[in-house]
Amino acid sequence: MKQSLFESRHQPDWDAFNSQLEALERGKSKTQAYHGFAASYRQLCQHLALAQARGYSSHLIDQLQQLAMRGHQQFYRHRSHLGAQMIRFLFGGFPRLVRSEWRSVCVASLLFFGSLALMGLLTYLYPELIFSLVSPDQVSEMEGMYDPDARRLGRFSERGSGDDWVMFGFYIMNNIGIAFQTFASGLLLGLGSLFFLLFNGLMIGAVAGHLTRIGYGEPFWSFVIGHGAFELTAIALAGAAGFKLGWALLAPGRLPRGEALRLAAGKAIQLVAGVILFLLLAAFIEAFWSSTTFASPNIKYAVGAGLWALVLSYLLLAGRRQHAPD
């Protein structure tokens, strides 16, 4: 068949497909836009293959190629229900993923909580150790924040501001920023995640040890125990996600490094999605519960212990059944 005949015979089909594409690209989800789309797309692909096989001119092939490209974009668009997907992820996918990545999760948790506990203990025993990590100004600022006589606890308490929203915003910005850095820097062969895990572990440990030693333990621990359940776990999980990236580069196995990295990043980013959820929860608790002073420390300890138990049992037990509720 000559090209002109081919063109004039199929031009109406291509025009119809083009207008169908335009409707879809404008985001109109009317049903008639979808009607017969798959069939027209397949037909167009066949026309393109024919045009190439028959050596038709570049102009025609380019034109069909563009239509095929646009059809491909629409056909393979991911139109999943984000809400349903998130609920499924929350009720099973995320804890299952954490358990299946137990190696990197264990390594990151050991590094983070280990350095935290060790540094806390050492600072408690050797008071001057804190000044090797934290400058004296910051130490006195910390002491001011957790002074047992203060009306409110935590950051911003010295302003006496009753506005929890400022703190909520600040915690989101600060904590999720740290988690993102801990994850992303794992791409540097895991060294970045290692650094951020150890650095944050040592800092928190030093501050905790110091405040406990000078007798500010009760306001400090009752403040951090609640949101710490989510926040500290989230930092460790972000580190685990970073280690996955670094490990894919260090030991790609039988795959090329780029491919191994791509596969590892797919898993790691899901961990990060869970981390974001955890940190949003943590910021909420920190701003609206931890900083209040109407609850006595004992209640806060009880709630905090409950939250830790909740997080651990969620990560260890949720989604074990084959058909998790979703």
Partner 1 sequence: MPSRSSASFSSPLPPLDTRYQVETPEGIDLHLRPAGLVPRALAFAIDLAIRGLILSATFIVLGLLGQFGMGLGTILLFLVTWWYMVLFEVLNQGRSPGKQMLGLRVVHDDGTPIGWAASLTRNLLRFVDILPFGYTLGIISCLNHPAFKRLGDIAAGTLVVYRDAPLSKPLLADAEPLPAPFTLNLDEQRAVLGFAERGGQLSAARRAELAALLAEPLQVPAEQAEPRLNGIARGLLGSAP
Residues that bind partner 1 (CB under 8 A): 2-5, 7-8, 25, 41-42, 45, 48-49, 52-53, 55-59, 61-63, 65-66, 68-69, 72-73, 76-78, 82, 161, 163-170, 172-173, 176-177, 180-181, 183-185, 187-188, 192, 245, 258, 261-262, 264-266, 268-270, 272-273
Integer-rounded Cα Rg, in Å, for the chain is 28
CB nearer to partner 1: give 24 or 139.
24
Q: 128 exposed, middle or buried (CB, 10 Å; 0-12, 13-18, 19+)?
A: exposed
Cβ proximity to partner 1: between 159 and 320 the closer is 159
Which is nearest to 157 in space by CA: 219, 215, 108, 98? 219
CA-wise closest residue to 212 among 227, 228, 224: 224
Closest to partner 1 by CB, 264 or 282: 264
225 contacts 300 by C-beta, under 8 angstroms: yes
d(CA 310, CA 61): 60
The least distance separating partner 1 from the CB of residue 176, rounded to whole angstroms, comes to: 7
Which residue, 162, 238, 144, is CA-closest to 195? 238
CB of 301 to partner 1, least distance (A): 28
Pick between residue 289 and residue 301 the one whose CB is nearest to partner 1.
289
Q: How far is CA 60 from the centre of its chain?
A: 46
What DSSP line would sit under 110-123, residue for residue?
HHHHHHHHHHHHHH
Cα separation, 48 vs 65, in Å, equals 7
Q: Which two tokens stand for residue 21?
A: 């594409």
Structure tokens at 255: 């795959």
74 versus 212: smaller Cβ distance to partner 1: 74
Minimal distance, residue 76 CB to partner 1, in Å: 4
CB of 296 to partner 1, least distance (A): 27
**Cβ closer to partner 1: 117 or 249?**
249
List all residues 6 or more positions away from 95 whose beta carbon is below 8 Å from its beta carbon.
314, 315, 316, 317, 318, 319
Distance between CA 269 and CA 188 in Å, rounded? 16
**Closer CB to partner 1, 71 or 226, in the complex:** 71
Least Å from the CB of residue 129 to partner 1: 30
Q: Output the smallest distance, CB 253 to partner 1, in A.
A: 16
Q: Least Å distance between CB 288 and partner 1?
A: 12
